[in-house]
Amino acid sequence: MQGEKILLLGVNHKTTPVEIREKIALSDGYEEPLAALKKIPACRECYLLATCNRVELIVVVEEQAEIESDIIAFLFDGSLSKEECSQYLYIYYNADAVHHMFMVAASLDSMVVGEAQILGQLKEAYRYAAQLGCTGPLLNKFLHKSFSVAKRVRTETGIGSSAVSISYAAVQLAEKIFGSLKGKKVLLLGAGEMAELAAEHLVGQGVGSVVVANRTLSRAVDLAKRFNGSAVSMDELQQQLEQVDIIISSTGATDLIIRKQDVKSVMRSRRNKPLFFIDIAVPRDLDPKLIEIDNVYLYDIDDLSSVVEINKSARDKEAVKAVRIVDEEALKFQRWCQGRAVIPTIRDLREKVDTIARLELDRTFSRLPHVNGSDKKALEKMVRAISSRILHDPLTYLKSESCTGRDNSDLKVDVIRSLFKLDNGDDSK
């Protein structure tokens, strides 16, 4: 690559416990952090993905730039020591970064392998980055490629069909606690997408009724309507705790919403009927101490993942196939990256024009049988001259030093490559 490298930094559910992830969860959207990233001088392109399970940050920087420490400082905001950072954070370069990102996109790195949500989250994050002008030619290609890899994995392997999501895990646990879910009452705290999905699964398993509590009541009413349920305000939480059986919490609140003493006091009036809490919010909504109460079961997303582990083996075979696809695509992308450098582009361009010239010459000669040796030579010479004169300007353009001193050869390579359609060979297979 000509003078730039891809750098990927991240934390995910495997490397980092939820307590640490809470500290870097970027709950206020993508705009601010992306704008901040853009200001780092060496950073040419950047992309940020933040979900409840992972934060992935991709930057394209100049080859020699050492901006890792800047970015680490940006991510953790100084809340962690250096040792802790290196313990939790992973950093990948170039080919490894590409491979990792493809794994993420194909949902092979997900907590629930094969779940489809991640691709949507990837695309949404890309939309933000593109709107803010953070992505350039390299990342555009990179991210589009990861979308198509994800699609390919989904269509060519069975990994999505047996995909068990967090909500599926929740249903499985609920069944171990309640036996049948018929007639059980579900309370959704917060009207997020994850909660909606989980509720959908539970209703599919025959759950009796759904209650939605949300800070903005109108959103709660909308969601409740979907499940033929009712909406309540957050103030009525305590009364609701006496009646419901399953609580799924996914609010964006920074504080705990339900504390241990809140639940302890309702257990008596519930006559010790079991309560099942699922906390899919980051930062967490529910007091981790709830688990200490008899007949109360509390799971956060990390815990749910270990449930999903149980029926993992069936998917492992498909995962092997999927990883092979990712390996293959990562290699192809690597080749494409190398092709982006100036020298290979010049070679490709020459080759293309030469091939065309050769082809047309052969065709002409076959139609003109009477043309003899010296005439042939003259014609060939002329064709070569034409093609090299045509090539002259694009080649000078490619080789030129840009006047501002900033190396924008990646842009030029991109222009030439798309103008002359030099990437066809890579994509067709």
Q: Could you list the active site residues? A: 52
Where do the H-state alpha helices sit in 137-259?
A: 137-156, 166-178, 193-204, 217-226, 237-243
Residues 272-291 that bind other proteins (CB under 8 A): 272-274, 291
In angstroms, the CA 264 to CA 260 distance is 6
Stretch in the footprint of other proteins (CB under 8 A) among 82-90, 149-157, 185-193, 294-302: 294-302
CA angle 297, 302, 305 (to 5 degrees): 95
What is the three-class DSSP state of 285? coil
| Nearest-approach distance from CB 316 to other proteins, in angstroms | 17
Q: Could you give the C-alpha distances from 162 to 14, 105, 155, 167, 197, in angstroms and in order?
A: 21, 17, 13, 13, 16
Q: Which is nearer to other proteins, 173 or 319 (CB)?
A: 173
CA distance 133 to 6: 17
| Segment 243 to 272, residues that bind other proteins, using CB under 8 A | 268, 270-272
Tell me: does residue 307 bind other proteins (CB under 8 A): yes
Contact pattern for other proteins over residues 123 through 162, marking x by CB under 8 A: ----------------------------------------
**Distance, CA of 411 to chain centre:** 25
**306 part of the interface to other proteins, by CB under 8 A:** yes
CA pseudo-torsion sign 215, 218, 220, 221: positive
Q: Please, which residue, 271 or 389, has the CB nearer to other proteins?
A: 271
Q: Contact, 346 vs 395, CB < 8 A?
A: yes
| Helical (H) or strand (E) element with 59 | strand 54-62
Q: Does 309 bind other proteins (CB under 8 A)?
A: yes
Q: CA angle, corner 210, sides to 209 and 212, nearest 5?
A: 155
Choosing from 216, 295, 364, 424, the residue that interacts with other proteins (CB under 8 A) is: 295
Among positions 176, 259, 335, 399, the unique one binding other proteins when judged by CB under 8 A? 176
Q: Which is nearer to other proteins, 226 or 273 (CB)?
A: 273
Binding segment for other proteins (CB under 8 A), chosen from 35-43, 100-108, 144-152, 292-300, is 292-300
Would you give the distance in Å from CA 175 to the centre of its chain? 31
Total residues in contact with other proteins, by rule CB under 8 A: 23
Cα angle, residue 8 at apex, residues 306 and 192 outer, rounded to 5°: 50
Binding test (CB under 8 A) with other proteins, winner from 76, 102, 126, 299? 299
Identify the residue among 28, 235, 294, 401 touching other proteins (CB under 8 A): 294
Q: Which helix (H) or strand (E) holds 106?
A: none
Binding segment toward other proteins, per CB under 8 A, in 70-78, 143-151, 299-307, 373-381 = 299-307
Give me the residues that bind other proteins (CB under 8 A), please: 173, 175-180, 268, 270-274, 291, 294-295, 297, 299, 303, 306-307, 309-310
